[in-house]
Structure 1
Amino acid sequence: MFKSNLLAGIIAITMLCTFLGFLMAWIKAVPLIAIMVFVIGLMIYDFIKTMREIRDNAGN
Protein backbone atom coordinates (compact mmCIF):
# COMPACT_ATOMS: atom_id res chain seq x y z
CA MET A 1 0.00 0.00 0.00
CA PHE A 2 2.86 2.37 0.75
CA LYS A 3 4.35 2.01 -2.73
CA SER A 4 1.04 2.62 -4.50
CA ASN A 5 0.36 5.72 -2.42
CA LEU A 6 3.89 6.94 -3.04
CA LEU A 7 3.59 6.47 -6.79
CA ALA A 8 0.15 8.09 -6.96
CA GLY A 9 1.36 11.04 -4.90
CA ILE A 10 4.43 11.59 -7.05
CA ILE A 11 2.32 11.46 -10.22
CA ALA A 12 -0.20 13.93 -8.76
CA ILE A 13 2.51 16.35 -7.62
CA THR A 14 4.21 16.17 -11.02
CA MET A 15 0.96 16.80 -12.88
CA LEU A 16 0.00 19.76 -10.70
CA CYS A 17 3.48 21.30 -10.92
CA THR A 18 3.40 20.96 -14.71
CA PHE A 19 -0.05 22.55 -14.94
CA LEU A 20 0.78 25.40 -12.58
CA GLY A 21 4.14 25.87 -14.29
CA PHE A 22 2.37 26.56 -17.57
CA LEU A 23 0.04 28.99 -15.80
CA MET A 24 2.96 30.77 -14.15
CA ALA A 25 4.73 31.14 -17.49
CA TRP A 26 1.58 32.33 -19.23
CA ILE A 27 0.09 34.74 -16.67
CA LYS A 28 3.27 36.15 -15.04
CA ALA A 29 1.54 37.88 -12.12
CA VAL A 30 3.81 37.99 -9.07
CA PRO A 31 1.03 37.56 -6.44
CA LEU A 32 -0.40 34.59 -8.32
CA ILE A 33 3.03 32.99 -8.65
CA ALA A 34 3.62 33.46 -4.91
CA ILE A 35 0.31 31.78 -4.10
CA MET A 36 1.04 28.89 -6.47
CA VAL A 37 4.49 28.31 -5.00
CA PHE A 38 3.02 28.39 -1.48
CA VAL A 39 0.29 25.89 -2.41
CA ILE A 40 2.80 23.54 -4.04
CA GLY A 41 4.94 23.73 -0.91
CA LEU A 42 1.94 22.89 1.29
CA MET A 43 1.04 19.97 -0.96
CA ILE A 44 4.55 18.53 -0.79
CA TYR A 45 4.64 19.00 3.00
CA ASP A 46 1.31 17.20 3.39
CA PHE A 47 2.43 14.39 1.08
CA ILE A 48 5.62 13.81 3.08
CA LYS A 49 3.71 13.92 6.37
CA THR A 50 1.12 11.44 5.11
CA MET A 51 3.77 9.05 3.77
CA ARG A 52 5.55 9.08 7.12
CA GLU A 53 2.29 8.32 8.94
CA ILE A 54 1.52 5.43 6.60
CA ARG A 55 5.05 4.06 7.01
CA ASP A 56 4.91 4.33 10.80
CA ASN A 57 1.47 2.70 11.04
CA ALA A 58 2.35 -0.16 8.68
CA GLY A 59 3.65 -2.27 11.55
CA ASN A 60 0.40 -2.03 13.56
Structure 2
Amino acid sequence: MDNKKSNFIEDSRILAFWRDLEIFTIPSAPTSKDNNKFTKIITLRFGEKLPWEMVEYQPTLK
Protein backbone atom coordinates (compact mmCIF):
# COMPACT_ATOMS: atom_id res chain seq x y z
CA MET A 1 0.00 0.00 0.00
CA ASP A 2 2.78 2.41 0.92
CA ASN A 3 4.55 1.82 -2.40
CA LYS A 4 1.37 2.58 -4.38
CA LYS A 5 0.89 5.82 -2.47
CA SER A 6 4.49 6.93 -3.05
CA ASN A 7 4.19 6.09 -6.77
CA PHE A 8 0.99 8.12 -6.96
CA ILE A 9 2.65 11.09 -5.25
CA GLU A 10 5.67 10.87 -7.57
CA ASP A 11 3.43 10.66 -10.66
CA SER A 12 1.40 13.62 -9.42
CA ARG A 13 4.55 15.70 -8.96
CA ILE A 14 5.74 14.88 -12.48
CA LEU A 15 2.36 15.80 -13.99
CA ALA A 16 2.24 19.02 -11.95
CA PHE A 17 5.71 19.97 -13.23
CA TRP A 18 4.74 19.53 -16.90
CA ARG A 19 1.41 21.30 -16.38
CA ASP A 20 3.19 24.28 -14.85
CA LEU A 21 5.78 24.29 -17.61
CA GLU A 22 3.04 24.44 -20.27
CA ILE A 23 1.20 27.20 -18.41
CA PHE A 24 4.26 29.44 -18.22
CA THR A 25 5.58 28.71 -21.72
CA ILE A 26 3.19 30.89 -23.67
CA PRO A 27 3.48 30.55 -27.46
CA SER A 28 3.83 33.67 -29.55
CA ALA A 29 0.73 35.03 -31.25
CA PRO A 30 0.36 34.26 -34.97
CA THR A 31 1.32 36.96 -37.45
CA SER A 32 0.34 37.69 -41.05
CA LYS A 33 3.24 35.41 -42.09
CA ASP A 34 1.17 32.51 -40.73
CA ASN A 35 -1.63 33.12 -43.28
CA ASN A 36 -2.33 30.18 -45.54
CA LYS A 37 -5.19 28.63 -47.49
CA PHE A 38 -6.93 27.45 -44.32
CA THR A 39 -5.87 30.09 -41.77
CA LYS A 40 -6.51 33.83 -42.01
CA ILE A 41 -4.75 36.16 -39.57
CA ILE A 42 -6.22 39.66 -39.34
CA THR A 43 -5.81 42.66 -37.06
CA LEU A 44 -9.06 43.75 -35.46
CA ARG A 45 -9.60 47.49 -35.28
CA PHE A 46 -12.16 49.33 -33.20
CA GLY A 47 -15.44 49.78 -35.07
CA GLU A 48 -14.73 47.19 -37.77
CA LYS A 49 -16.89 44.13 -38.33
CA LEU A 50 -15.88 40.98 -36.52
CA PRO A 51 -14.46 38.18 -38.70
CA TRP A 52 -17.62 36.05 -38.57
CA GLU A 53 -19.60 39.06 -39.85
CA MET A 54 -17.36 39.56 -42.92
CA VAL A 55 -18.37 37.92 -46.21
CA GLU A 56 -14.80 36.87 -47.05
CA TYR A 57 -14.56 34.81 -43.86
CA GLN A 58 -17.86 32.96 -44.22
CA PRO A 59 -17.61 29.15 -44.44
CA THR A 60 -17.46 27.66 -47.91
CA LEU A 61 -18.46 24.28 -49.28
CA LYS A 62 -14.83 23.40 -50.15
What TM-score, normalized to structure 1? 0.43
What TM-score, normalized to structure 2? 0.41
- Greater relative CO (CA pairs within 8 A, separation 6+): 1
Higher percent of residues as helix: 1
Pick the structure with greater CA Rg.
Answer: 2
